[in-house]
Amino acid sequence: MTQPIRLGLLAATITLVLFACGSDAVTVAPEFGSPLAADADGPTIYEARCASCHGTDLRGTEKGPSQLSIVYEPGHHGDDAYRSAVRNGARQHHWGFGDMPAVADITDDQIETVITYIRAEQERLGFE
């Protein structure tokens, strides 16, 4: 076998392996601009770290679900579910948006602040 044929077969094999190991749902963590202030309030944190996928009004986008869906009421997805999803990401299970990536550049205190904000908005606006 000649060298060009070997290289061609090697390239084809590598391509097949890469496609076979991949998934058709690619989850990429959003890029965030500047770091959040340590004392940022809930609306600021939500806008900076959540709104690009979950909507500025918490009603979702083509990238992520509404946080006003009844699925996110505290009895179904409690605060620990939010903490885990923000810190570790979450596998797709209720929606067709793909896996949620972990949220970068957010502290534990900021996670608590944004959860408090989301819960207050859920109470204020009601569930869909």
Spans of all domains in the chain = 26-125
Amino acid identity of 35? P
Spell out the residues 6+ positions from residue 118 whose beta carbon is closer than 8 angstroms to its own: 42, 46, 50, 58, 67, 72, 82
Summarised one tens digit per residue, pLDDT across range 62-102 is 999 999 999 999 999 999 999 999 999 999 999 999 999 99
> Count of residues for the chain?
128
Amino acid identity of 43? P
pLDDT band at 34 (very low <50, low <70, confident <90, very high): confident
* pLDDT of res. 53: 97
User: In this structure, how many other beta carbons lie within 10 angstroms of the beta carbon of residue 8?
Assistant: 11
To the question of domain 26-125 being in CATH 1.10.760.10, the answer is yes
